[in-house]
Amino acid sequence: MATIDLSKLVTADMKAAQTRQARIAAIIAERERRLGVGFAYDFGDTRGVHRIATSEQDMRGWDEVTKIANAMLALNDPVSTIDIVTEAGPVQVTAIEWQHILIAAAAFRQPIWTASFALQAMNPIPLDVTDDQYWL
Amino acid sequence: MIIQFCPQLRGDTLSLSRAGDRLIVNGDTIDLSATPDGAELPADAISNDWLVGTVRRIADVLHLTLILPHDADAPESVRFPADIVDPADGPITLPGEA
């Protein structure tokens, strides 16, 4: 009689769980890609419209600028400027202007997070999680 | 049960019979009854070298692949064997056998 190592048995439930985990990983990868695309921000003056980068590395820079802006606001300094570099080039912003950029970034980024959570909650998760219809 | 074959030029022979979910390969019984529907077993989980590839039960039908030994002048029906679908219990006629 041949012996069978049932510890190597992969059940339908296990396969479904593996598939789901793989699709969740794909959703997270797509979310990161979309978060990193960046967005256009209109300063509404001579500085014009700048494309602002939002890759993971860029977001570390955002944290730095946000700390500086928060310190300025805590010191009631609405005038001093912070040097930042967008994809259009260097530009100066006040602490308040930086807050506006943060709000604009939230408007760009939050729907992406929301869509990714909705996708992860689907059962079954769609095969093509990169389809725009799931991210609008 | 659906039996597929992996033809190999080799000197030994294969005899095969079925008893429900049990397959008797050259006298060695492989009991696949513990494989539930939708599950799969890699070949290395089963201590029989004739079985290659993954054993799957799909829609309550076992799918498996066995080595089919043949000699150098084997006919095309052995070198490119058809699957055996739902063989009856008892001895199984292999590709190329009368």
- Tens-place pLDDT, residues A33-73: 999 999 999 999 999 999 999 998 999 999 999 999 999 99
Q: Which alpha helices (DSSP H) does A54-94 contain, by range?
A: 56-74
Shortest distance between the Cα of B78 and any Cα of chain A, in A, equals 26
For chain B, say whether A8 makes contact (Cβ under 8 Å).
Answer: yes
Question: How many Å separate Cα A54 from the centre of its chain?
Answer: 7
Please give the residue of chain B at the shortest CA–CA distance from A15.
Answer: B39
Shortest distance between the Cα of A120 and any Cα of chain B, in A, equals 24
Q: Up-side HSE of residue A5: CA atoms within 13 Å toward CB? A: 9
Mean pLDDT, rounded, for B34-40: 95
pLDDT reading at B97 higher than 90? no
pTM above threshold 0.90: no
What tens digit of pLDDT does each residue of B49-79 get?
A: 999 999 999 999 999 999 999 999 999 999 9
Nearest to B39 among A2, A5, A10 (CB): A10
- pLDDT value of position B29: 97
ipTM for the predicted complex comes to: 0.86
Which residue type is seen at B96?
A: G
How many other C-beta atoms lie within 10 A of the C-beta of residue B70?
A: 21
Please give the residue of chain A at the shortest CA–CA distance from B58.
Answer: A12
- pLDDT value of position A33: 95
